[in-house]
Chain A
Amino acid sequence: MIAARRGGPVVLRLGRLALVLNAVVIFAFLYLPILILLIFSFNATRSVAHWEGFSLAWYQRLFDNVSLLRAARNSLLIGLVATVVATIFGTMTALGMDRFRFRFRTTFDVVLYLPIVIPEIVLGISLLLFFNLALFPVVEAVVPVRLTLGLPTITIAHIAFCIPFVYVIVRARLAGFDRTLEEAARDLGANEWNTFRRVTFPLLLPGILGGALIAFTLSLDDFLVTAFTAGTASPTMPLYIYSLVRRGVTPEINALSTVLLAASISLVIVSLALQRRS
């Protein structure tokens, strides 16, 4: 007992030192590669290893690159549509599942969680097979059109995997919801719609925005599901980056990465601000 007491402070001090060291090593490991990537995006030559002077040439080239700009536009377009649809559907589902009891409710709850846990590549190939071997042949048999994979199929797929994430986040927000506030509004004479608009919706808003933010990020970053549902005509940003990275290492990718990094840092700050408000 006494021995343990005497050893205690030393052990604790060593432990604290180990914790600090561990944190320093991890953050260095996480940020050193990003820092180097960022530095060499400003390099004057094609090298990503030897510093030859400051230049913004690679950024200039990004903004002149037509296929890159088209990929960025595709990504933003898909991201916006997928986010709006998935946020509306996911929020409605969270409200329905939280407040009402109906048949198949438990089964549907499982279906809602499945897309989150099954591997992305399985989602991707299942949609590829579905579009090519089921949906397209059936539609083409009814209407005389020729269907191919492209922006609409990517958007459909993104909405499908975003709904569950919005649902989970809004549902969590509903779990801590004080229902007496709604009852008070009803007692004070508000009808159902006004109660929702003036009480329920504002209180849920941080959860809904959080869900929308996750959906938007997931859609913008998705590679695997997109790769299987994109066909050949319409690359998104991740598909474009992948094709560049496969071909080799250039400061142009560094510059593009830096722009995306800046965008995600702003997203993190927005999401933290949202959390603080809630």
Chain B
Amino acid sequence: MKAGVRRRSRGPLLVVPSALWLGLFFTLPLIIVILISLVERGRAGGVRTPLVFTLEYYQRLADPLYLSILWRSVRIALVVTSVCVLLGYPLAVFMSRSLVRVRGALLLLVMIPFWTNFLVRTYAIKLMLGADGLVNSLLVSTGMVQAPLSLLFNEFAVVLGLVYGYLPFAVLPMYASVEKFDGRLMEAAADLGANLRRAFLRVMLPLTLPGVLAAVVLVFVPVVGAFITPDIMGGGKIEMIGTLINRQFGVARNWPFGSAMSLALMVMVVIGVLYYFRSGAETERPL
């Protein structure tokens, strides 16, 4: 009985430091964002004091200009996620089919970019596409074009930069799933008369879906709110929601509008992730 009482009181004690820290430096700041999004801005940044309540900034989100930026962010995130999954899944299959020793080396090759500073990698891909980068040098020296093409600062460059940045994030969870998949199930499906396509769609894909869904979340969430890649690869010309929010806290000095936009982004992402958890739970049940 005494032990029981001690057990009950010890649990909360262990979580108190984290609970306090996250309560003060995570939950409370989020509540303040909600509050700030509902009051008028100050003249030179900050908010107007005394606080004046307004819904103006949420109404402004519906402005076609901002809706189009929001839509572009979602569209770019969908394209990048699809490309990462479509390229990453076959790579995961290839890795899991390799000899054990090769597999370790391949895994290392995927993990190195994963752990490398994101700015460094974005800089590397920017170098490739620059006026005297490798792509243009090849194009000019083979005579395919007369003068270097301007490959940077457009939507394609942003998408390419994002795929470059997040492909390893897609490969790793899919590899974890595909590696656990028992290849003999495909043989069984073939023996039962299924062709390759049917065996893949009905057996392999459903069983490796948790990995695919994890890849989707790991790529979509950071890409939809990305700042570094659109900023560096887009050169200020390709506005995404991340760069727009950043601008509200920089030159535009409109903290309430930036807060409203952040909340819109957060709600979008959290709904997406919840949807993922529900569909993930459904696919795991038949196993």
Interface, chain A (partner B; CB < 8 A) = 1, 4, 8, 11-12, 15, 18-20, 22-23, 26-27, 29-34, 36-37, 40, 47-50, 88-90, 92-93, 95-97, 99-102, 105, 108, 111-112, 114-115, 117-123, 125-130, 132-134, 156-157, 159-160, 163-164, 167, 217, 220-221, 223-224, 228, 237-238, 241-242, 245-246, 249, 253, 257, 260-261, 264-265, 267-269, 271-272
Those 3 A-B pairs whose CB atoms lie nearest each other, nearest first:
A100-B11, A96-B14, A119-B225
- Given A93-B15, A119-B225, A37 and B22 contact (CB-CB distance below 8 Å): no
CB within 8 Å of A: which B114-151 residues? 114-128, 130, 132-134, 137
Task: Check if B33 sits within 8 Å of A117, measured CB to CB.
Answer: no
- Give Cα A93–Cα B94 distance, bound, in whole angstroms: 38
Does residue B215 face the partner (Cβ distance < 8 Å to A)? no
The distance in angstroms between the C-alpha atoms of A220 and B117, with both chains bound, is: 8
A40-B127, A221-B117, A241-B117 known; 18 new pairs, CB 8 Å cut-off, are A22-B91, A23-B90, A34-B113, A34-B116, A37-B123, A49-B130, A89-B17, A117-B273, A119-B262, A119-B269, A121-B227, A122-B30, A122-B225, A241-B120, A241-B123, A257-B124, A268-B114, A272-B104
In the bound complex, CA of A33 to CA of B126 (Å): 9
Contact A268/B111 with A119-B266, A257-B123 known, Cβ cut-off 8 Å: yes
Contacts of A1 in B (CB 8 A): 193
The 20 sampled A-B contact pairs (Cβ below 8 Å) are: A20-B94, A23-B91, A27-B109, A36-B128, A37-B120, A92-B14, A96-B12, A119-B224, A120-B225, A121-B227, A122-B225, A134-B28, A157-B25, A164-B22, A241-B119, A245-B123, A245-B232, A249-B126, A253-B123, A260-B117
Which chain A residues lie closer than 8 Å to B125 at the CB level?
A: 33
Q: Are B91 and A264 in contact (CB under 8 A)?
A: no
Interface of B is mostly: helix
Contact A130:B115 (CB < 8 A) given known A22-B91, A92-B18: no
B134 near A32 (CB under 8 angstroms)? yes
Q: Knowing A37-B123, A224-B227 are in contact, say whether A159-B10 is a contact too (CB < 8 A).
A: no
Q: Does B158 contact A (CB under 8 A)?
A: no
Q: Which stretch from B58-66, B205-213, B242-250 is at the chain A interface?
A: B242-250
Chain B residues lying within 8 Å of A126, measured Cβ to Cβ, are 26, 29-30, 32-33, 262
C-alpha spacing A120/B226, complex, angstroms:
8
| B99 CB contacts on chain A under 8 angstroms | none
Q: Which residues of B contact A (CB under 8 A)?
A: 7-8, 10-15, 17-19, 21-23, 25-30, 32-33, 36, 46-47, 87-88, 90-91, 93-95, 97, 104, 106-109, 111-128, 130, 132-134, 137, 164, 167-168, 190, 193, 195-196, 217, 221-222, 224-225, 227-228, 232, 242, 245-246, 249, 255, 258-259, 262-263, 265-266, 269-270, 273
CA distance A19 to B178 in the complex (A): 14
A21 to B112, CA, bound (A): 21
Our pick among B7, B94, B128 for the contact of A100 (Cβ within 8 Å) is B7
Q: Contacting A160 at CB < 8 Å: which of B22, B104, B123, B245?
A: B22
- Known contacts A37-B127, A119-B266; A26 and B167 CB within 8 A of each other: yes
Known contacts: A129-B29, A249-B130. The answer to whether A23 contacts B120 by CB under 8 A is no
Cα distance A115–B30 in the bound complex, in angstroms: 11
Beta-carbon contact of B14 and A18 below 8 Å = no
How far is the CB of B204 from the nearest CB of chain A, in Å? Answer: 12
Cβ–Cβ contact A118 & B118, under 8 A: no
Interchain CB contact (< 8 A) of B265 among A50, A119, A242: A119
Q: Which of B11, B33, B46, B246 contacts A99 (CB 8 A)?
A: B11
The reply to whether B127 and A48 contact each other, CB–CB distance below 8 Å, is: yes
Q: How far is the CB of A35 from chain B (nearest CB, A)?
A: 9
Cβ B128 vs Cβ A108 within 8 A? no
Hey, which chain A residues are within 8 Å of B116, CB to CB?
34, 260-261, 264
Cα–Cα, bound, A249→B94 (Å): 36
Check B262–A92 contact: CB distance below 8 A: no
Q: Is the CB of B29 within 8 A of A33?
A: no
Pick from B11, B28, B112, B217: contact of A130, CB below 8 A: B28
Which residues of B are found within 8 Å of A29, using beta-carbon distances? Answer: 164, 167
Knowing A33-B124, A129-B32, the reply to whether A163 touches B109 (Cβ < 8 A) is no
